[in-house]
Amino acid sequence: MTLPWHSQVDIIAAFSFLGFVLISIPLYWHCVAWNIGCVLYIFWVGGQCLFQAINVLVWRDNVINIAPIWCDIFIRFYIGASIGVCTASLVINRRLYHIANVSSVSITRADKRRNIITDFLIGLGIPVLAIAVYWVYEGHRFDLMEGVGCIEAYPNTWLALILYYLWPIPIGLVSATYCVLTLTAFFKRRRRFTELMASNANITFNRYFRLMGLASLEFLFTLPLTVYNITENFKLAPYKWRGMANLHSRFGRVDQYPAVIWRADPQLISVINFRLWMPIACALVFFLFFGLAEEARKHYKLAITSIAKKVGISTMERSSEFDSSVSKTVGLSGTALPTFINRTIRRASLDSVFSDDQSAGHSAEGSHDKVLHSPSGLSVGSSTFIGSPVSEKDQEHAIHPVPPLPSLPFMRVPDSSAVHHPTPSKSEVLGGRGAGGRGRTGATQRGLKLHRDGLSSHDFVS
């Protein structure tokens, strides 16, 4: 049983929005890694899904020309995206080939810049060229179809065959050549390839083979689907060529086709279904390759943690339970003191939330002038440590698990009235490299002499 057409339109719109969301998820880390091929793939396929979802909703049950400028933009983007998906696959295969055949693990900045420019020229330049030549075989401004929206209008001519339908075939053949050469180079230079992977943080073995799998799958389907698309389109009534003037006559018109008219042709239904579902399939395949990988799961975890903090949901329940148990077991003898803990989270990194390191945040100097704190303020899992204040009365009964280190004796050089020694010279104070010659200052030598005489340095402290 076939669903009603309007129900099919709703399903297509839902999957188109879903495809746009799913393919946009890995965009950030591909931008960070400078994977130009994947970024361009997301741009073309994600743009198709988004535009398509809007179109089928706006023209779900009508063919009214309410947004002609929008349609002018969309049909040209669609022409570019149809070629851009193939060029993005070519960029990916070309980059993988150069990685497998690189002669040195170190690449200069000029080489990186040159590779990026070349990738953009292939991934954007060829689709823009296809958009520019669209006017040559364009029949009129555009068409409107109920449940589909605005579509490009060009008759089945030999110009359309050469300037539009045949683009994916040479691009797919070049991409297939790069893929075969990449596999050959990988198996020949596997040890060198391992060193390159270890020196490059932006690409790993898993990511490398996922990229290769995506590009290979794309060109494996490009050739047969292109042939199928050409066959289905030319099964329709061919246009009898009468020259460019006849082709562009009444160029500004907009033809409108209600669903009851265009759905009466089974061949046209097949072509439209292929057109609507192909971007969705490409988006889902890309998400399966990159949206479920290990680095993707890490980004999902960070995103969920960030959103949970913004809405006020705690992500530290286990740590809080452990904190309470520590506070109950570690404390003063016979005295239950409340714990006042102010958690301070470093915003610079999400990893600090899950850190077990404690930062004291207090210097050792002048600690006798501050209020003492009990160890019950220990906060496990927090990035700061702030103890609970202890009164002077409870201080006497406090149990310190680790006794404090004894402070170094305070030694002051006695003046000339207490001990009759000559004032040290400048060379003795700075380096002690005069008569002593062993790196000790004059004050230290006198202190050692006092120690041999049985005198304490505290006797000279005023």
Same domain, 275 and 138: yes
* pLDDT tens digits, 251-290: 999 999 999 999 998 888 988 998 999 999 999 988 888 7
Q: Is the pTM of this model over 0.75?
A: no
| Crossing angle for the helix pair 68-100 and 168-188, to the nearest 10 degrees | 20
Q: How confident is the model at residue 104 (pLDDT cuts 50, 70, 90)?
A: low
Are 411 and 457 in contact by the 8 Å Cβ rule? The answer is yes
pLDDT attached to residue 201? 55
**What range defines the domain where residue 57 resides?**
5-307
Over residues 376-388, mean pLDDT? 40
Residue linked to tokens 């404690």: 358
* End residue of a domain, out of 307, 323, 354: 307
- Nearest Cα to 375, choosing from 356, 358, 351, 352? 358
Does residue 167 form part of some domain? yes
Dihedral (CA of 86, 92, 93, 94) sign: positive
pLDDT at 432: 45
CA atoms within 13 A on the CB side of 459: 9
Residue 112 included in any domain: yes
Helix (H/G/I), strand (E/B), else coil: 151: strand
More confident residue, 410 or 88: 88
Q: Is residue 379 part of a domain?
A: no
Mean pLDDT for the stretch of residues 218-229: 78
What pLDDT sits at residue 42?
93
Closest CA to 89 of 286, 263, 350: 286
Whichever domain contains 197, its CATH number is 1.20.1070.10
- Of 307, 342, 360, the domain-final residue: 307
Q: What pLDDT does residue 108 have? A: 76
The percentage of the chain sitting over the pLDDT mark of 70, rounded to a whole number, equals 60
Q: Please give the share of the chain, as a percent, with pLDDT higher than 90.
A: 28
Q: Which residues of 104-121 are buried (b: 16+ CB within 10 A; e: fewer)?
A: eeeeeeeeeeebeebbee
What local confidence, expressed as pLDDT, does residue 300 receive?
Answer: 73
Tokens of 197: 């992977």
- Per-residue pLDDT at 78: 95
pLDDT at 352: 37
Q: Are strands 388-389 and 373-374 parallel, antiparallel or unpaired?
A: antiparallel
Residue 314 — pLDDT band, cuts 50, 70, 90?
low
pLDDT value at position 255?
Answer: 93
Q: What residue spans of 311-410 are helical by DSSP H? A: 317-329, 392-395
| Count of structural domains, the chain | 2
Does 322 fall in a domain?
no
In the predicted model, what is the mean pLDDT of the chain?
Answer: 72
pLDDT interval class at 383 (50, 70, 90) = very low
Displacement of CA 295 from its chain's centroid (Å):
8
Residue 78, classed as helix, strand or coil, is: helix
